[in-house]
Each structure stands twice: as C-alpha cells, then as structure tokens.
Amino acid sequence: MLSHIEGVIFDLDGTLVDSQLDFAAIRRETGFAEDTDLLAQLESLSCETERSRAEAIIHRHEMQGARIARWMPGAQQLIERLQRAGMPTGIVTRNSRVATHHTLSALSIESIDLITREDAPPKPNPEGLLSLAHKWAIAVDKLIYVGDYLFDLQAAANAGMVSVLYARPEFADDADIVIDHFDQLADLLAVDARME
C-alpha cells in the first residue's frame, strides 16, 4: 500500500499519453547514434547550424506526437480521481513546453503542475521532481514518480522518491513498484478512501 503518499508526479509520453514518438526515427534523421540520449547529444553539439537542425527535427516529431496523443488506458480516470481526492498531481517531462502544452490542451488536462525541459535539466536529473516537492511542501519520501523508462526510475531514485514503472517490464529491476494498468495504482494509493 501507498497510503502514506501525499502527491503523485507523472511522466507524460508513454505514461499518461501515447504520442507514438519514434525515437529511433528521430535518431536516424538527426544522425545521432542508436543508443544515444537525444537531449544529451543535442546539448553536446557545438556547431550552431547542426544544433538548430537537430532541434527542428526533434520539435517536428514532438509536435506531431502532440497532435495525435491519446490517453493511456485508465490514465485520465486516475488523474481525475486523484484531483477529486485533493492529492497534488504534476507532470515532469523531457518534452518541450510548447509540445507539452499542445498535448495537455488537446486532452483537456487542466489544473496540473508542469515541469518541461525548459524548466529544469532533463531526467534522470532530479531537479524537476524536487522543484514540485518544494512547491507542494511535501517531503520527497511521501511522493511517487510514475514513468515508463529507465530515466524516470533514475530520476525518482535521485530525488529520493518512490518509483512506479508503468507497462515496461524490461526496467522492472530498477523500479520500486511495477504496474500495468492505472487501476492498480489507484488501489495502491487507496484513492477512493481519500475521497470519503
């Protein structure tokens, strides 16, 4: 049980929403190596022309993903239940602010705290998670971070938060909790009891 948890932070792509981002295609188009961290590689580019070109490619893919983004099964219902229960909820994403706002607007995700890559160093750096903990004035050990990728789990660990892995069993060894549907997380958090 996670009855001691007072706030929930989510990753966006692959967790709350399916935006069908094809990272392999982005790497091919930018010319980045197959196993590279896109944002770290982008940051390392010293040539302004190369950097601008890569940024434009990433932006195009992110905006396309934002246009077609759909809720993951049960995600919308969980967010709504958490908000009705009065639990602080937030999103920390490696996406750009403009693409993220487009996704949130299209899916009517409102009243949620948001940290994008323009607001804090990208995960696995924990700064984005810690900034929400500070804003909410909640101790890190009373927060969970829910994501679908290794960087999410590492960011949670680096922040001292409980990590919840969604639907990616290949990273299970690095997670504190593994779920394959958001109903499971609602049960672990005893959300319905918090609404009484």
Give domain limits for the chain: 7-19+70-194, 23-68
Tell me how crowded residue 107 is: count the other CB atoms within 10 A of its CB.
17
Helix/strand/coil (H/E/C) assignment for every residue in 116-179 = CCCCCCCCCCCHHHHHHHHHHCCCHHHEEEEECCHHHHHHHHHHCCEEEEECCHHHHHHCCEEE
Residue 196 is predicted with a pLDDT of: 63
Q: Where are the beta strands (DSSP E) in 15-88?
A: 17-18, 70-71
Taking the whole predicted model, whether its pTM rises above 0.75 is answered as yes
46 three-state secondary structure: coil
Domain 7-19+70-194: state its class: alpha beta
Q: CA-based angle 103:160:171, to the nearest 5?
A: 65
Residues whose CB is less than 8 angstroms from the CB of residue 86 and which lie 6 or more positions away in sequence, other chains included: 194
pLDDT along the chain (196 residues), means of 10: 93 96 91 88 91 93 94 96 95 96 92 95 97 98 97 98 96 97 96 81
Rounded to an integer, what distance in angstroms lies between the CA atom of residue 78 and that of residue 66? 21
